[in-house]
Amino acid sequence: MKTLIFNGSPRKNGDTAALIRILAANLKGDVEVVETASANIRPCRDCRKCWKEPGCSIKDRMRGVYDSIDAADNIVIASPIWFSELSAPLMNVLSRLQTYYCARAFRKEEPIRKPKRGAVILVGGGDGSADRAFETAKILLHQMHTVDIFPPIVSHNTNRQPAEKDMAAISGLGVAAAFLNALAAFEPPEGEGTA
Ligand SMILES: Cc1cc2nc3c(=O)[nH]c(=O)nc-3n(C[C@H](O)[C@H](O)[C@H](O)COP(=O)(O)O)c2cc1C
């Protein structure tokens, strides 16, 4: 089982990173984290090449991320709330999902083979609401062929309490991990392939 996690925070030891660590410790299989703030991945420039052809005209490290998306069983979007939305670094990287949108909308192709399960982790200082960020995260997860999304895990009081001390969020992560791990139940035992 493979889980791909997008971290939208630029803070290496911030609140998002703390919750990602807790989730990852509870997941089976391989876990890969894309640090969107330092990944050196450029945003979509709307060149429209993908209206006609698969792939992306920008040749950078997003190529590896496309492979990881394709291979993943689970996708997790984890982000601080910025002005009631997902963070700018996360949106920059995930703007590159436009190639998937264009595959379906213009070329009538499904660009990702394997359907996935998803989860969303959001942290915020305590202003506004996480609703809009969750709606945007769902749009992005659907672009990555995520068909089953766990309810959001939100720690929205980090100005007063670090997310890693938010017991409601931590127990939510445990249930989310069980939801994502359930995929392992459908994997064949070692040595037995599927037809
Ligand atoms: C540019 C910016 C915008 C923010 N906007 C919000 C907001 O709308 N609502 C909120 O509750 N917190 C907001 N915050 C606070 C962060 O969400 C909060 O500090 C969070 O815990 C940071 O997570 P991190 O340590 O993983 O980066 C904002 C922070 C920044 C830097």
Q: pLDDT digits over 88-143, tens only?
A: 999 999 999 999 999 999 999 999 999 999 999 999 999 999 999 999 999 999 99
pLDDT at 185 over 80: no
Q: How confident is the model at residue 148 (pLDDT cuts 50, 70, 90)?
A: very high
Q: Which residues of 160-173 are buried (b: 16+ CB within 10 A; e: fewer)?
A: eeebbebeebbebb
Average pLDDT value for the chain? 94
| Ligand 1 atom closest to residue 155's alpha carbon, by position in its atom list | 21
pLDDT of the residue at 193: 43
Q: Is the pLDDT of residue 13 over 50?
A: yes
- Look at residue 188 and tell me whether its pLDDT is greater than 60: no
- pLDDT computed for residue 84 by the predictor: 98
Contact predicate 99/116, CB 8 Å? no
The reply to whether ligand 1 has any atom less than 6 angstroms from the CB of 83 is: yes
Listed in sequence order, the DSSP H helices in the chain are 15-25, 62-71, 88-94, 98-105, 131-143, 167-181
Q: Ligand 1 pocket check: which of 158, 164, 166 to mutate, most ligand atoms within 8 Å of Cβ?
A: 158
pTM for the full predicted model = 0.94
Residue type, 169: A
Closest ligand 1 atom number to CA of residue 127: 11
**Residue with the nearest Cα to atom 5 of ligand 1?**
82
Rounded percentage of the chain residues whose pLDDT exceeds 90: 93
C-alpha to C-alpha distance for 177 and 10, rounded to whole angstroms: 24
Single-letter amino acid, residue 54: P
Taken in order of first residue, the domains within the chain and their CATH numbers are 2-184 (3.40.50.360)
* pLDDT of residue 183 exceeding 70: no
| Cβ neighbours of residue 155 closer than 8 Å, sequence gap 6 or more | 15, 19, 122, 123, 124, 163, 166, 168, 169
pLDDT confidence of 175, banded at 50, 70, 90? very high
**CA 118 vs CA 30, 47, 149, 164: distances in Å:** 15, 29, 5, 21
